Every structure is written in structure tokens, then in C-alpha cells.
């Protein structure tokens, strides 16, 4: 089905571009991975770019969903909200840049995040303007290329930076609307990509173009499709030379590995998000530059994404601690897959027969699930995991059979995509559609690795389905809910995903929610307290259950920074 073209670069064009880029990178991911020989031949550039854009696209979708809710609340409340029913260009590009920043993976993904941020800075400066035209897009592409180059400690020609600069140069010479500017940028980038082997010896030896540059050309092709409704033809670029008995792209990786080994590159890739001030980040750049190479620090306004290759991963993380608050730390040992490992060689461990992989919303629940034997993936408030992160968690579990617990209704499609990917890798995966971490606790409680896989899945699914779930949280903004219009700061009680109670006191709302849930019966109440919940909340609810509901037991767990003040499960 042909894509409907966009005349201007507006919020809808941003949304369309993200979706088309994600689809195009999904198709090109394996090809890009196969030609990845620089800066490290680890064969993951395509995957990293895909995960980065996936995070950007999800953030844009969240902004559109929020405005749709605001529109419903405005209509129901007689126009009390200021929202116009759709996000502005600034809203959309800001979300795209932020999503890419927090989801950036690898060297190329981090640079792409800065390219998107550079575009967003120019486009957001247009204030409340609903759209921009060709000249605005030209300025955005120029600033994107310049800001990405500034983010890299030691820019190298023949890489994605060269391709981005060529795209901006070509766009500068384009006259006309956004479609003409996008087409010129794409053609300039494609020509630069074809020339990269002549600029970087490791690419010439392997007979490939730069993988990150190939990814950027793919994203720019999606931009052309956004404005014209048609995707440019396949990118005709050189790939690995196939010698007699060779294996094409695999040979390219081998050539890159030999080159890197000869140069004695660092052993670890370290990536983390960092909350820090500009001055502290300037000092951090100097320290990390002395520790290793491939240093890229992107972001601003107090939030940064740090990427570096080092031999001393601990020192790189310590430098982040000195600068501010690092989190979502990922350490990969080159050649040994996913990390948090030492440089010590270890024989591959035997696969377990069965494992449970669960997404959990806070550190307290992560510890509880881990103690019960599950492999966990922490989902911090406002930062839902991407499908690639779920696939990595399944790989970490290292089992032939995996039960996947997303513990969030919004992760249903993400978890399904991850399960499908894991199945292609030979893992038998069963997805139990848990909508809350308390349903996951119930499922994990009846998990028995010794019985047949199908029987275990049925038992866990039944336990999760028999558990009603609720949460108590604080509204961040005025919005329409199933219980009426709430104001920012109101306490909300949600039962099975729908707002059932709106109030001002946390304890009163929690008690009302609990009474409504137990009115239908129950044998066990599970309370998971967030770190911002009042200290006496659990004691009061336990006493209420003990006094008013005979033969009902209560268990309490600390949830940590889980977003909601309280999670409630009733079995």
C-alpha cells in the first residue's frame, strides 16, 4: 500500500518518518550487521540502529496518544484544556530526540540519536509553528551533521559522520519543498556512502561500505518516502568481495576482526545514561578520552548518553558516578556477547532446560523475581524496554524453553515481537500476557520447571488470570478517565487497568480500591509499595484486611522506584 505523502514537515510527518525508518531498518538490519567492520567488527550496527529508532518511534507514539486523551478530556469538560487535539512539531521532534537518546545503542545508534537531536533543536526553535518547509529542513539537516560531529571525540572520515555531512551539503543546494530537500540529502548521502571504502582502509580491505553510513542512508530514504509517498530504489553499494570458497559478508567481519586485533582495540563497550550538568560532562569527556576510544557523548539539558570503548569498564562507570548519576549501564565484552563479565575466558555454559524472563517495574521486585529464579529486565518509569532488550534478556536466560512475563499491557506487542525473534533463534517461547507485576508474582509462584512445558505454561497462565490487579498513582496532568476528569496531583486508583477512583488522599483511595477488589472475594492480597508511598500505608491496609475480611492473607513487598505508589493483587 502506497504511503500518503506529507507536504510539510509537521508532527504527522515526524510520526510517519519514524515508522517508515523502523520498517526500513527492520528489512536492512541483517545486511547492515553483516558489513559492520568499524570501529569494531561485532556485527550489530543494524540491530543497534533499529533499537535506537524503535525507541524514538515509541516516544512519538506516546505523545500522539497523550494528545488524543487530552482531546477527549477537553471535549468532555467543555473545552477546559489547552490542547488542540494533536502534538505540535516541537512536541513530536522533541519526543523523537528524547526517545532516541534514552534508547541509543552502540556507536552508530548513539551518533544517530545526536543527529535526531540536532534536527529537533532547529525545528523546536520554530516555537508553536505547526510545520516547517524546505528551508527549515535544510537548516535542521545542517545542524544535525554539525552537532553529531561535535559529539564524537575524534571524528573519522569514511564513517556515518561523513555521510551526514554530505547529506547536509547536498540539501544546502536544493531548492523547493521538503520533498526536494529530502531527495537531495538522500542522493548526497548515498554518493558519500559509496565512497567510504576509499576513505577508511579497514573498509577497503573488507570490500564493504560503512555500516553506520548505510543505516543513515536507509533512514534518509524513509524521509524521502515520507514526503513523496514512494521509497527510493534499493541502495546500490559495494559489499564484501566473495573470494573462491568465501562467504561474502561473513568474510567482511573476519577482515575487520583481523584489523582490530592487530590494532589491539579495547576489550569493553560501555554505555550508560547520565544525569549531569554541562561542566561535569566536559570533565567526563576528558577523562573517558584518556581511558579509551570511540568516545561519543550526546544529549544535553541534564540528560546524556555516554558511549566509549575501554579496557577498564569499571573506571568508565566510576567516571560517570563522579560526573553525576549514571543508570541503564550496559557493558559488553567484545567477542563474548552480552556482558557484565570480566576479561577471563570461560567455557560456554550448558543451556538450562527452562527459564522465566520477566519485565519488572522496580528494583525491589527485580530482587524478588531474581530470588525466585527468574531472569529480570528492569523497566524504569517512563522508559519501557524495546523488543531488542527483551530478546537480550531471553538470551541471558540461556535456556531451551522460556516463559515470558511482560507484566504490562502496553508491552504486549513488544513482547510478542521479542518472542518471535527468539523462536527464530531456536528457543521455545511461551508468552503469558500478564498486565501487572502482581500477576507475574502469582504466575511465578506456581512455576515448576520439572513438569512438561505446556502444563507449566497453562498453570502459570491460570494463576495470572485469576489475579485481579490494581495500582494507586498520582496524576501527572489533567486528563479524561473512566471515572471522570482528573487534575494534576489527584490520586488515582486503577483496577484492572481502568481508573476507578479519583481522590486526594493516598490511604483513602487505596482503601477504596482494596474494598472494591475484595467485594468479589479473594484469599490472598499482595501489596507492593513504591519508594514514595507513605510509610504507614501498608500497615493500615493490612489491618483493614485483617479486621474486615476473614481468612484473607496479606503479603507486602518493597517495590523501589516503580512509578506507582502501590501495586495490589488479589487472588
Tell me the C-alpha distance between 371 and 373, whole Å.
5
Last residue of a domain, one of 278, 300, 333: 333
**Which one-letter DSSP state was computed for residue 481?**
E
Residue 386's pLDDT is: 76
Question: Of 418, 446, 465, at which residue does a domain stop?
Answer: 465
Q: Note whether 143 and 176 are same-domain residues.
A: yes
Sign of the dihedral through C-alpha 88, 93, 95, 98: negative
Residues above pLDDT 70, as percent of the chain:
86
- Rounded CA separation 344/564 (Å): 41
pLDDT tens, residue by residue, 136-190: 999 999 999 999 999 998 999 999 999 999 999 999 988 888 999 999 999 999 9
Cis peptide before 39 (omega within 30 of 0): yes
Could you list the residue range(s) of the whole structural domain that residue 474 is in?
468-570
φ, ψ at 36 (rounded to 5°):
-75, 100
Tell me the pLDDT tens digit for each residue of 347-390.
Answer: 455 788 999 999 998 788 888 898 888 998 888 776 778 777 88
Whether pLDDT at 341 is above 60:
no
Residue 347 is assigned to a structural domain of this protein: no
Cα–Cα distance for residue pair 107/128, rounded to 1 Å = 33
Question: With contact defined as beta carbons under 8 Å apart, do 295 and 288 qualify?
Answer: yes
| Cα angle: 213, vertex 285, 114; to 5 degrees | 35
Number of H helices, E strands in the chain: 19, 18
As a whole number of angstroms, the distance between CA 149 and CA 115 comes to 9
Chain segment 429-478, per-residue pLDDT in tens: 999 999 999 999 999 999 999 899 999 999 999 999 999 999 999 998 88
Q: Name the CA dihedral angle for 296, 285, 99, 380, rounded to a multiple of 10 degrees.
A: 120
Cell of 323: 560526573
Q: Of all helices (H) and strands (E), which one includes residue 372?
A: none
Is 23 in the same domain as 158?
Answer: yes
Q: Where are the beta strands (DSSP E) in 276-427?
A: 292-300, 303-310, 325-333, 352-360, 375-378, 399-405
% the chain with pLDDT above 90: 46
Per DSSP, the three-state class of 351 is: coil
- Give the CATH number of the domain where residue 524 resides: 3.30.1180.10
Backbone φ, ψ for residue 326 (5° rounding): -85, 145
- pLDDT tens for residues 388-399? 788 888 988 889
Question: Rounded CA gap, 388 and 372, in Å?
Answer: 24
pLDDT at 422 over 80: yes
State the total domains in the chain: 4
> Do 73 and 97 fall into the same domain?
yes
Res. 82: pLDDT tops 80: no
Tell me what pLDDT residue 241 has: 41
Query: At residue 545, does pLDDT exceed 50?
Result: yes
- Residue 251: the pLDDT is 43
The CATH number linked to 25 is 1.25.40.340
> How confident is residue 253, by pLDDT bands cut at 50, 70 and 90?
very low
pLDDT in tens, 276-318: 999 999 999 999 999 988 899 999 889 999 999 988 888 888 8
Grouping H, G, I as helix, E, B as strand and the rest as coil, residue 238 is: coil
pLDDT at res. 312: 86
Question: Of 518, 531, 521, 519, which Cα lies nearest the Cα of 568?
Answer: 518
**Residue 263 scores a pLDDT above 50:** no
Does the pLDDT of residue 420 top 50, yes or no? yes
Based on the domain organization, do 285 and 433 belong to the same domain? no
Amino acid at each position: 500500500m502506497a504511503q500518503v505523502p506529507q507536504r510539510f514537515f509537521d508532527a504527522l510527518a515526524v510520526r510517519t518518518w519514524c515508522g517508515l525508518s523502523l520498517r526500513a531498518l527492520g528489512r536492512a538490519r541483517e545486511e547492515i550487521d553483516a558489513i559492520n567492520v568499524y570501529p569494531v567488527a561485532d556485527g550489530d550496527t543494524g540491530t543497534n540502529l533499529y533499537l535506537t529508532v524503535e525507541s524514538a518511534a515509541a516516544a512519538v507514539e506516546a505523545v500522539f496518544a497523550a494528545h488524543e486523551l487530552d482531546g477527549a478530556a477537553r471535549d468532555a469538560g467543555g473545552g477546559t484544556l489547552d490542547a488542540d487535539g494533536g502534538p505540535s512539531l516541537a512536541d513530536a521532534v522533541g519526543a523523537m530526540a528524547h526517545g532516541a537518546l534514552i534508547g541509543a545503542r552502540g556507536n552508530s545508534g548513539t551518533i544517530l540519536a545526536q543527529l535526531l537531536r540536532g534536527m529537533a533543536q532547529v525545528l523546536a526553535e520554530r516555537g508553536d509553528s505547526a510545520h516547517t518547509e524546505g528551508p527549515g529542513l535544510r537548516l535542521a539537516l545542517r545542524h544535525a551533521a554539525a552537532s553529531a560531529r561535535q559529539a564524537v571525540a575524534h571524528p573519522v572520515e569514511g564513517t556515518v559522520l561523513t555521510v551526514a555531512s554530505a547529506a547536509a551539503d547536498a540539501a544546502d543546494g536544493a531548492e523547493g519543498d521538503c520533498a526536494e530537500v529530502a531527495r537531495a540529502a538522500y542522493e548526497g548521502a548515498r554518493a558519500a556512502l559509496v565512497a567510504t571504502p576509499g576513505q577508511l582502509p579497514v573498509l577497503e580491505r573488507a570490500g564493504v561500505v560503512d555500516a553506520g553510513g548505510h543505516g543513515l542512508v536507509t533512514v534518509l530514504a524513509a524521509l524521502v518516502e515520507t514526503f513523496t509517498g514512494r521509497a527510493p530504489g534499493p541502495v546500490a553499494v559495494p559489499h564484501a568481495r566473495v573470494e573462491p570458497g568465501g562467504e561474502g559478508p561473513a568474510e567482511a567481519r573476519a577482515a575487520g576482526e583481523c584489523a582490530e586485533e592487530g590494532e589491539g582495540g579495547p576489550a569493553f563497550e560501555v554505555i550508560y545514561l547520565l544525569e549531569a550538568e554541562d561542566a561535569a560532562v566536559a570533565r567526563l569527556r576528558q577523562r573517558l578520552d584518556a581511558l579509551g576510544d570511540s568516545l561519543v557523548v550526546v544529549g544535553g539539558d541534564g540528560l546524556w548518553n555516554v558511549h566509549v570503548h575501554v579496557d577498564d569498564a569499571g573506571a568508565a562507570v566510576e567516571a560517570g558516578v563522579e560526573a553525576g548519576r549514571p543508570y541503564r549501564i550496559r557493558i559488553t565484552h567484545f567477542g563474548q556477547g552480552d556482558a557484565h563479565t570480566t576479561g577471563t575466558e570461560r567455557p560456554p555454559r550448558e543451556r538450562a532446560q527452562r527459564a522465566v524472563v520477566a519485565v519488572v517495574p522496580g528494583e525491589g521486585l527485580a530482587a524478588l523475581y531474581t530470588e525466585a529464579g527468574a531472569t529480570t529486565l528492569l523497566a524504569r518509569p517512563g522508559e519501557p524496554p524495546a523488543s531488542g532488550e527483551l530478546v537480550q534478556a531471553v538470551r541471558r536466560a540461556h535456556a531451551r524453553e522460556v516463559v515470558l512475563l511482560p507484566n504490562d499491557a502496553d508491552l504486549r506487542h513488544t513482547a510478542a515481537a521479542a518472542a518471535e525473534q527468539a523462536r527464530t533463534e531456536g528457543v521455545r517461547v511461551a508468552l503469558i500476557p500478564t498486565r501487572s507485576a502482581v500477576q507475574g508474582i502469582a504466575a511465578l509462584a506456581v512455576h515448576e520447571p520439572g513438569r512438561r512445558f505446556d502444563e507449566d505454561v497453562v498453570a502459570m497462565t491460570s494463576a495470572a488470570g485469576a489475579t485481579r490487579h490494581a495500582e494507586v498513582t498520582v496524576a501527572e496532568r489533567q486528563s479524561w478517565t473512566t471515572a471522570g476528569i482528573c487534575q494534576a496531583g489527584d490520586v488515582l486508583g486503577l483496577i484492572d487497568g481502568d481508573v476507578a477512583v479519583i481522590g486526594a488522599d493516598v490511604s483513602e483511595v487505596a482503601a477504596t480500591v482494596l474494598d472494591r477488589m475484595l467485594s468479589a472475594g479473594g484469599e490472598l492480597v499482595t501489596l507492593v509499595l513504591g519508594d514514595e508511598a507513605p510509610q504507614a500505608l501498608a500497615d493500615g491496609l493490612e489491618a483493614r484486611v485483617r479486621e474486615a475480611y476473614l481468612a484473607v492473607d496479606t503479603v507486602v513487598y518493597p517495590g523501589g522506584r516503580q512509578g506507582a505508589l502501590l501495586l495490589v493483587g488479589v487472588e
